[in-house]
Structure 1
Amino acid sequence: MDAVVFDLDGVLVDSEQTWDEVRRAVTAEHGGTWDGERTTRALMGMSTPEWAAYLATERGVRLPPDAIAELVVDGMVRRYAEGPPLLPDAVEAVRAAARRCPVAIASSSPPALIAEVLRVTGLDDVVKVALSSELTGAGKPAPDVYLAAAKALGADPAACVAVEDSTNGIKAALNAGMIVVAVPNAHFPPDPQVVAQAATVISGVGQLSTFLDGLSRP
C-alpha cells in the first residue's frame, strides 16, 4: 500500500445535500429547471467548469457558466462559514491512515473549499497533496484527479487505496486502477452494481482502519 486517497464530499464532509440545495437555489433564481434526483446524480463528481456548463446548457440557467460557478461557490463558502459539516470520525480516519502511509485528497470541490476544510480541521499538517478535479482534467468518473494525486505522491495507482461514496467517484477510482473502499452516501446511494466492484464496503469512514489492517498483514 503506497498511499490512501480520500474523496472529500460525502466521505469526510457531509456536504452533498448542501451542494444540492445551493445549486437548486441558483438554478431556480436564474430561470433554470431542476429534474429532481436525476440532475443531482448527473452533477456528482463533475468538476466546477463541468457542472456550471451543465446547468447552463442542460438545465437552462440564464447565466454564463463562470457566473454560475461563482454564485454557487460563494454560496458554499457562506454555508461553510461556521465550519464544514464533518462526518463522524473523519479527521481521525485521515490521521490514522497518515500514520501508515502518505495520504491525499482527490475531490471535485473547488480548491478554495478543499483548503478551507483542511485548515479548519488541522489536516493540512498531514495531507500534503490535495487536488481538485477542476485543475487536473476531466471530472469524475474520469480517473484524472486520482491519477494526478498518485503521481504527486510518487505512488503506483494500483497500490493506492481510494475512499469514495458516489457512483461517479467509485468509477473514477476504479478507472484509475486503485483499490476502492466504498462508503455509500446515505443521502444519494450509489449504483449497487458499481459498489459491487469495490474491494470492500464500509458504513462509515471510521471503519477504514480495519480494512487497512488487513492489507498490511503478510
Structure 2
Amino acid sequence: MAIEAVVFDLDGVIIDSEEVWEEVRRGYVAEHNREFLPDTQSRMMGMNTQEWSGHLAEDVGVPRTPEQVAADVLGRMAERYRTSLPIIPGAAEAVRRLGARFPLALASSSARVLIDQVLESAGLTDAFRVTLSTEEVPRGKPAPDVYLAACEKLGYAPAVCAAVEDSSNGLRSAGAAGLAVIAVPHGIYPPAEDALALASMVVTGVTELSPEVIENLR
C-alpha cells in the first residue's frame, strides 16, 4: 500500500525545542518555589496545552490556574521563538523536498500560537495543507486524535499516510492512528523502546528523508 501523504510532528522534528520547553517550564516552576516531579518532563512531551498546564498547576503545585500557567508559559515560548528560532539544520529543506511530492500536514502538541509563530519564522507557512494542534482535538498524544484528524482533513486514510515523529508519546499516537511511522529519535530525549518498536523506519535525522525514502516505506 503506497504512501500518499506525510504528516510531520513539529517539536523535535522541525525545531529542536524540547530543551527550550524544559528550560522555560523549569524556570517558571522554580519562580513559584516548586520542583519538577521525577517524570514531569517525560510526561509532558506530547501533552496538549490543557494537559501540561494542568499537570504543572495540579500535580507540581504551581499556585496558578491551568489557564494562567498556559498563558504565562506560552508567552515566554513565543518570545523565545521570535528572537531565536531553534530550527533543526536542513529541516525546512526536508519539508520542501517532501512537499514537492506529497501533500503535507502538521500534527503538533504545541499551541496554535506557537505553531503559527514557528512556521512564519521558518518561512514554512505555505508548506502544509493542514496544520493541527492537539488543543484542537479532544485528547493529546499518545492518543491518536491529532493524527486521525490530520489525515481526515488531508482527505487520506491513515493507512496511506506516513508520520515523522521523535518522542515516545508522538510515536504511540501515530502508531495508534494507523500511520506508517518514521522515528527520528532525539539525542537528549530518546523515545522508550516500546514506542520505538512501533516505527517502520528509524533515521538519525530529518535530513535523511526524501520522496524515494517515503515511497519505499511500505
Fold equivalence (TM over 0.5): yes
**Equivalent residue number for residue 90 of structure 1:** 91
Within a 5 Å distance, the mapping from 1:63-212 to structure 2 comes to 63-209=64-210, 210-212=212-214
Shift of residue 213, structure 1, vs aligned partner: 4.2
The match for 1:11 among 10, 13, 20 is 13
Q: Please say if residues 82 and 121 of structure 2, whose CA atoms lie closer than 8 Å, have aligned partners that are also in contact.
A: no
SS of aligned partner of 1:81: helix
Q: Provide Cα deviations, 1:90-130, integer angstroms capped at 9, x if missing partner.
A: 00111111111100110000011111111122212221211
Structure 1: any 5+ residue segments left out of the alignment? none
Alignment match, 1:214: 216
State whether residues 162 and 181 of structure 1, in contact with CA within 8 Å, keep that contact through their aligned partners in structure 2.
Answer: yes
Deviation at 1:137, TM superposition (A): 1.5
1:26 corresponding residue in structure 2: 28
CA offsets per residue over residues 53-80 of structure 1, 9 Å max, x none?
Answer: 0111111111100010011001101111
Q: Tell me, which stretches of 5 or more residues in structure 2 are unaligned?
A: none
Consecutive aligned runs of 4 or more in structure 1 exceeding 6 Å deviation: none
1:59 counterpart residue number:
60
Count of paired positions: 215
For residues 153-196 of structure 1, what are the alpha-carbon distances to aligned partners after superposition, in whole Å with 9 as ceiling and x for unaligned? Answer: 00111110000000000000001000000000111111022212
Letter in 1 for 2:141: K
Partner of 2:50: 49
| Matched-pair contact (CA < 8 Å) for 1:32–1:55 | no
Normalising to structure 2: TM-score of the pair? 0.95
Work out the CA distance in 1 between the residues paired with 2:20 and 2:113: 16
Read off the aligned partner of 2:57 and give its amino acid letter: A
